[in-house]
Amino acid sequence: MNPYNAWRLTSLSTLPAWALALAACGLAAAVFLSFRGFRSEPRKSRRAALLGWRILAALLLFTLLLEPGLELRAESRVRARIAVLIDTSKSMKFPAAPGGPSRAEEMLRWLKDKQKELGALAGRFQVDVYSFDKELQPADLTKLLAAPGDSQGPSTDILAALSGAAGAGTGGRPLAGLLIASDGADNAELESGLSPAAAGELHKLGAPIFALPIGAQSLKDLAVEKVSVDDFAFVRTQVTVDVTLSARGFPATDVPVVLKRDGQVVAQKVVHVDGDQPRVDVKLSFVPDRTGKFAFTVSVPVYDGEALAQNNQKSFVLKVIRDRVRVLLVVGRPSWDVRFLRQLLKRDANVDLISFFILRTPGDDPHTSSQDELSLIPFPTQEIFQEQLKTFDLVIFQNFNHRPYRMSQYLDGIAAYVRDGGAFAMIGGDQSFSSGDYSGTPIEEILPLRLLSPGSPGVDESQVQLKLSAAGVRHPVTELLPGKAENAAAWEKLPRLPGLNTIADSKPGAQVLLTGQDGRPVLVVGEAGRGRVLALTTDSSWMWSFVAAGQELGPRAYETFWHGAIRWLVRDPALTPMRVTAERPSFDPGEMPALDAQVRGSDYGAAAGAQVTVALSSADDPLPKKAGSATANAEGSARIPLQALPPGAYKAVVTARRADGTPVGETEEAFVVASASPELLNATPRPELLQAIATATGGRVIDASDDLTRLSFRDPERVEVGQRTTRPLWDTWMVLAALCIVVGLEWTLRRRWGYA
């Protein structure tokens, strides 16, 4: 039996295309030259005959060069495919209409009604069924119909589902179209609508999309869709909260938007909503009056007939801190240590940095007598250290010698500034401590260590492995990680540091937090009057970031140390002996929150055995109620588990007392109970998104009553070739004979009519 059912003409020539083109040009030139030879022939019939025979001979010759052949093929038609996508994300659990069945049940009811139509389509196309949420999965229609409540997907990614289904075909089958049933509540790439880039991706599918919106009919819903606010705010500085409301199915009406903290209204505004404009933006502003961490709630009323009540409020945690810490950094000369500290301070949004780099001194050029001749602007010593000194929260001398700049007269003022409540830090180097001529000055009086007399060795360049002292084990400045063992291990992993300033000893009352392996003080802190002072006798702390970047802590060791040091120096309220933090800022409903407390005495020593109790209040119930208790362990740590809580914003007041009833301290923490799933936060149906998707691909939005067999799916013809063979047509005596006859006849006529 002949397996071939189709044929086509083909060329069997082995000549390259350029050779065939050159041959064609040569034959055309030969025809043209021949025509020139007999164009003077007066008889038109003879001219036409000679030209025709010459053209026929050229064509026969070119045909021989092409080597024509017949390709026999065994062809079969391939059916196109249709992809059916079923939304199984969590948002499909919500009602399709107030008081009605869920969206998933509504969709499965439609599927049951369309089984015959899908079967009819399967006679023309290959029909592939998929379920989708965050991921796309092949699905069995029978199992889908048997499990109407199986909607557990954590999020919805419509664009990825459509692209995945379009490319998931087997056997190279062409795509006739896609059919998607969904509520349109996308929370991935299409969350903000169909962008031009996304429309381009859909256009590349090359097939129409037909979309069935679920839960879009007769919907009435008002939701707090989005709340945007910074993670922290400054006390006594206005804070603005950007709120986006979505209103569907609402007539024109005024809606009050309320912002509460601990159940108290701190801001409110009335906005006008209209169902024709589904989104409304509103700004709520307030001025926090104290520092701390607080839970806020933005809410709108729940109106009769709303499809969802869970999305009428949204809570968030805001940390209110003091105004930006104003830091004066005076540097003797640029170095790696200077670069790292300056970059860290510049990146910190809580720091307002004023820094001075001294590149040359009067001693560098004996021909200059004025400091103004050494820099673009003079070093404003009088303005900084007399007029503006009290505006700074912290003054840092980093490898800076005061004497070349005639600053001795200002050292008394700096010492007085610290005793009055300011903060001062000196960082080591060959121009610091004794090497910076601070021995016997008012600066030595406030430093927590004694300096060597002038002329003593200034810097020891040998490498030193730093160790935590007994005081450093529990001090917040040297706490890289929570937990005594973990923190000690973190310090042991840091690299050895080269170069220590030599000092006499630490002063009584000062706390040595870090020492070298030989016991020499490296980091010493203390108090002078009402102020705090820190002395770091090395200029290599930058290596905790640069060298340790590949270790477990990475650059966080350097950043954590300096952030903690600055916060302690300026008396940050967060560095109180007693601290408590929620396991996370937000918990899901039904989850059991937990608080971690660190209970210490005024000396930062662990308050082992202290009884820790928690009282909770919320925006809906501002009266504090006891919610849990625990006993601090030997390290002063306590974990207080709480019961599962309903959605809302909560404030926890944590109190610690010793076994004899002596109070240790009290602190507060705030957290939120709210679903973090985007499916539950923004579950409003979006039929307009499905409409945009269908329009972008030449499809349309369909109704539940539409006949699927009448949809305009593409039916591109795709042919597959199983076998093929070729047979030459030119390799016969007849072709050669025809060429000889044509050439001979043309030559005979030319000779007879007098043309050579």
| Amino acid type, 605 | G
Q: What angle do CA 661, 662, 666 make, to 5 degrees?
A: 105
Which of 441-455, 511-525, 677-691 has the least mean pLDDT?
A: 677-691
Query: Is the model's pLDDT at 462 over the cut of 60?
Result: yes
DSSP 135: S
Phi, psi of 288 (to 5 degrees): -65, 140
Is residue 468 a contact partner of residue 487, using CB atoms and an 8 Å limit?
A: yes
Q: Report residue 65's pLDDT band, with 50, 70 and 90 as the boundaries.
A: confident
| Residue-wise pLDDT tens digits, 287-308 | 887 767 888 999 999 888 777 7
Flag whether pLDDT at 593 surpasses 80. yes
More confident residue, 358 or 670: 670
**Token pair of 631 as six digits:** 């006993």
Hey, do 81-218+686-715 and 577-678 end up sharing a CATH topology, with the first three levels equal? no
Residue 537 has a pLDDT of 92
pLDDT of residue 75: 59
- Pick from 218-227, 249-258, 317-326 the range whose average pLDDT is largest: 249-258
Task: Give the whole-angstrom CA distance, residue 300 versus residue 616.
Answer: 24
Which tokens hold the place of 153? 């997907």
Bridge partners for 450 per DSSP: 505
> What does the DSSP assignment read for 210-240?
EEEESS-TT--EEEEEEEE--SEEETTS-EE
Give the pLDDT confidence score for residue 77 in this predicted structure: 63
Which comes out higher in pLDDT, residue 10 or 426? 426
| 371/689: higher pLDDT | 689
CATH 1.10.150.130 fits 577-678, yes or no: no
Listed range (120-129, 212-221, 561-570, 687-696) with the worst mean pLDDT = 212-221
pLDDT digit string, tens, across residues 624-673: 889 999 999 988 889 999 998 888 889 999 999 888 888 887 888 899 98
Which of 527, 100, 154, 574 shows the shortest CA–CA distance to 322?
Answer: 574
Which amino acid, residue 201?
Answer: E
CATH architecture type of domain 81-218+686-715: 3-Layer(aba) Sandwich (3.40)
Segment of 42-56, 292-306, 536-550 carrying the highest mean pLDDT: 292-306
Q: Percent of the chain at pLDDT above 70?
A: 87
pLDDT at 739: 72
**Whether the predicted pLDDT of 109 surpasses 60:** yes
- Per CATH, which fold does 325-571 belong to? Rossmann fold (3.40.50)
Residue 355: what are its φ and ψ, rounded to 5°?
-125, 150
Asked if residue 664 lies in contact with residue 601, where contact means CB atoms within 8 angstroms, the answer is yes
Q: Is the dihedral of CA 132, 137, 140, 144 positive or negative?
A: negative
Enumerate the domain spans of the chain: 6-76+724-752, 81-218+686-715, 221-321, 325-571, 577-678
Cβ atoms of 268 and 258 closer than 8 Å = yes
Contacts of 233 (CB under 8 A, 6+ apart): 239, 288, 318, 319, 320, 321
pLDDT attached to residue 219? 65
Query: In whole numbers, what is the pLDDT of the chain averaged over residues?
Result: 82
The second-level CATH assignment, the architecture, of 221-321 is: Sandwich (2.60)
Token pair, residue 287, equals 């001025």
Is 424 in a helix, a strand, or coil? Answer: strand
Helices (H) and strands (E) in the chain, counts: 17, 37
Whole-model pTM?
Answer: 0.49
Q: How many residues does the chain have?
A: 756
The closest alpha carbon to 209, from 699, 690, 696, 703, belongs to 699
Burial of 446 (C-beta count, 10 Å sphere; 0-12/13-18/19+): buried
Lowest mean pLDDT, pick from 167-176, 246-255, 617-626: 167-176
* pLDDT of the residue at 269: 94
Contacts of 289 (CB under 8 A, 6+ apart): 235, 236
Model pLDDT, residue 76: 59
Q: DSSP strand E in 300-448: where?
A: 313-321, 325-331, 351-357, 394-398, 423-427
pLDDT at 694: 93
Per-residue pLDDT at 693? 93
- Residue 386 to residue 525: CA distance in whole angstroms: 25
Does residue 395 surpass a pLDDT of 90?
A: yes
Per-residue pLDDT at 184 exceeds 70: yes
Q: What is residue 11's three-state secondary structure? A: strand
Nearest to 618 by CA among 667, 671, 662: 671
Asked whether the predicted pLDDT for residue 375 surpasses 60, the reply is no
pLDDT tens-digit map of 700-723: 999 989 999 999 988 765 555 566
DSSP label at 350?
T
pLDDT at 583 over 90: no
Contact between 676 and 588 under an 8 Å Cβ cutoff? The reply is yes
